[in-house]
Amino acid sequence: MIDNLLLYFNFFPSLMKFAKQRIIDTKKWFITLFVAQLILIAIVVISLSIMEIEEIVKARWLYRMITFISFSTIMATVYKSYREYSRDYLVTKSFQLTPLVTTIANILVGNIILMVLTLIIAIFKPINFETSMLAYLFFVLMTIISMILITVTLGLLDILSKKIITAFIVGSIVSFLLLPILYLPSTKTNLLNQVLKLNPLYYIVDGSATSAIFGAINIYNVTYHIYFLIFLVILGTLNFMIMRYVAHKKYRYSQDAITTKNEN
């Protein structure tokens, strides 16, 4: 254990350089993502300014816009991160290191982009509505933690099966349809609202958008916070189990390769 820690700290500067290079390599990806969504925001804001609509209607459209860019940024960042995680896993593990540094760096960049875009939208909200920065930062933290865990899950599964990309695409489409983007649930409490909120992605995009436009409403939903924390614990446990399985498969593969080489 101590030897592994010493080895980790010894290679840490190299690991940071590796992560920095990965970020540089994905710079165009993030710039394109930012510019495309910024243009979309400009179109929506200008359109809402031209149309004579009530403030509550404008606020709901801005809320919908934030949920959309949150979904787009999260899914794009997770996709890029888990693909790099699975590609870097075996290389970094060979030196007793972790590919998590690159993953965390990518996710932080993605969330910085998301925060900037969200706050730009919040500037144009009606004056009667208030942004809660404390509540928003809380949901940003939840977003970062969940993205890291989901990235690790998908990255490990991608090592075991190349069909994960199909599952990711299908899951993204289903999630998009279930989020408050095309359909805005009623403000009244009903069964449909409760079922939709069981989706962890709904929890973070709705929480972020609500905090930016309507204030600290969702921060008081203690039940959903507990539910989401349970989800994170389950996901972390699942990652630990899959990681052990991947390590075992890697060991078996190495042993088979050595045996084959000796036979030849």
User: What is the spatial distance between Cα 177 and Cα 190, in angstroms, rounded to a whole number?
Assistant: 19
Q: How many helices (DSSP H) and strands (DSSP E) are in the chain?
A: 9, 0
Question: At 257, is the pLDDT very low, low, confident or very high (cuts 50, 70, 90)?
Answer: very low
User: What is the spatial distance between Cα 82 and Cα 155, in angstroms, rounded to a whole number?
Assistant: 4
CA distances from 197 to 145, 191, 206 (A): 18, 10, 9
* DSSP code, position 162: T
Closest CA to 121 of 111, 131, 112: 131
pLDDT at residue number 195: 75
Least confidently predicted of 35-44, 158-167, 175-184, 221-230:
175-184
Give the mean pLDDT of the chain: 81
User: What is the spatial distance between Cα 100 and Cα 94, in angstroms, rounded to a whole number?
Assistant: 14
CB 250 within 8 A of CB 90: yes
DSSP string covering 96-122, please? T--THHHHHHHHHHHHHHHHHHHHHHH
Mean pLDDT of 186-195: 66
Reply yes or no on whether the pLDDT at 45 is more than 60: yes
pLDDT at residue number 93: 67
CB 196 within 8 A of CB 178: yes
Reply yes or no on whether the pLDDT at 57 is more than 90: no
pLDDT at residue number 14: 62
How many structural domains is the chain composed of?
Answer: 1
pLDDT digits (tens, 9 = 90+) for 82-133: 988 888 777 776 666 677 888 888 899 999 999 999 999 988 887 777 888 8
Mean pLDDT of 57-76: 91
pLDDT digits (tens, 9 = 90+) for 139-155: 999 999 999 999 999 99
Q: Which own/partner pairs from 44-52 qualify as long-range (CB within 8 Å, at least 24 positions apart)?
A: 45/121, 45/124, 48/124, 49/124
CA end-to-end distance (rounded Å), the chain = 36
CB 229 within 8 A of CB 200: no
Q: Going by C-beta distance under 8 Å and a sequence separation of 6 or more, which residues neighbour residue 224?
A: 197, 203, 218
pLDDT digits (tens, 9 = 90+) for 201-255: 988 998 898 888 888 877 777 888 898 999 999 999 998 888 888 876 665 544 4
* DSSP code, position 20: H
| Measured CA angle at 261 (ends 259, 264), to 5 deg | 110
Reply yes or no on whether the pLDDT at 256 is more than 50: no
Q: What percent of the chain has pLDDT over 90?
A: 28
pLDDT at residue number 79: 93
Range of the domain at 30: 2-263
CA distances from 239 to 98, 149, 244, 248 (A): 14, 8, 9, 14
User: What is the spatial distance between Cα 24 and Cα 114, in angstroms, rounded to a whole number?
Assistant: 19
